[in-house]
Amino acid sequence: MQQNCFSGDLKAHKLPHRHQNRTSEKKMVKKLLVDVDCGVDDAQAIMLALADPDVQILGITCVRGNTSVDNVCKNVLRVLKVCQRLKIPVFRGASSSLLNESLNASHFHGKDGLGEAPDPEAPGLEHVQKEGAVQAMIRITTEHAGQVTLVATGPLTNLALAVKIDPSFPQKLKGLYIMGGNTDSRGNTTVCGEFNFTADPEAAYIVLNDYLCKTYLATWEFTCMNKIPWEFCDPWLDQNSEKARFMKKIFCYSMEMAKQPRFQKEMVGGDGFISCDSYAMAAAIDSSVITELEEWPVSVELSGKLTRGMMVLDKLGLLQKEHKAFIIKKCDLEKFKSMMMTALK
What mean pLDDT comes out for the span 178-185? 95
> Is 90 exceeded by the pLDDT of residue 57?
yes
Choosing from 35, 37, 52, 200, the catalytic residue is 37
The average confidence (pLDDT) of the chain is 89
> Is 50 exceeded by the pLDDT of residue 336?
yes
Q: Given this model, what pLDDT does residue 24 score?
A: 44
Q: Has 37 been annotated as catalytic?
A: yes
Which of 60-74, 217-231, 247-261, 315-329 has the least mean pLDDT?
Answer: 247-261
Q: Quickly count: other Cβ atoms within 10 Å of residue 120's Cβ.
A: 4
Q: Given this model, what pLDDT does residue 292 score?
A: 97
Higher pLDDT, residue 267 or 175: 175
Distance CA 149, CA 163 (A): 15
Distance CA 110, CA 1 (A): 48
Comparing CA positions, the residue from 91, 85, 77, 88 lying closest to residue 121 is: 77
What mean pLDDT comes out for the span 227-242? 94
- pTM score: 0.91
State how beta strands 290-296 and 12-14 pair: antiparallel
Higher pLDDT, residue 189 or 263: 189
What mean pLDDT comes out for the span 52-77? 97
> Is 50 exceeded by the pLDDT of residue 2?
no
What mean pLDDT comes out for the span 135-164? 98
pLDDT in tens, 254-282: 777 666 666 655 566 567 889 999 999 99
Beta carbons of 289 and 177 less than 8 angstroms apart? no
Distance CA 2, CA 15 (A): 9
- Most confident of the following: 136-150, 185-199, 265-279: 136-150
Distance CA 242, CA 121 (A): 15
Q: Given this model, what pLDDT does residue 178 score?
A: 98
> Is 50 exceeded by the pLDDT of residue 107?
yes
Which of 151-155, 226-230, 266-270 has the least mean pLDDT?
Answer: 266-270
Q: Given this model, what pLDDT does residue 18 score?
A: 44
CB-based burial label for 225 (10 Å; 0-12, 13-18, 19+)? middle
pLDDT in tens, 311-321: 999 999 999 99
Q: Domains (ranges, CATH) in the chain?
A: 12-343 (3.90.245.10)
What mean pLDDT comes out for the span 135-139? 98
Distance CA 293, CA 330 (A): 7
Question: Above pLDDT 90, what percent of the chain?
Answer: 77
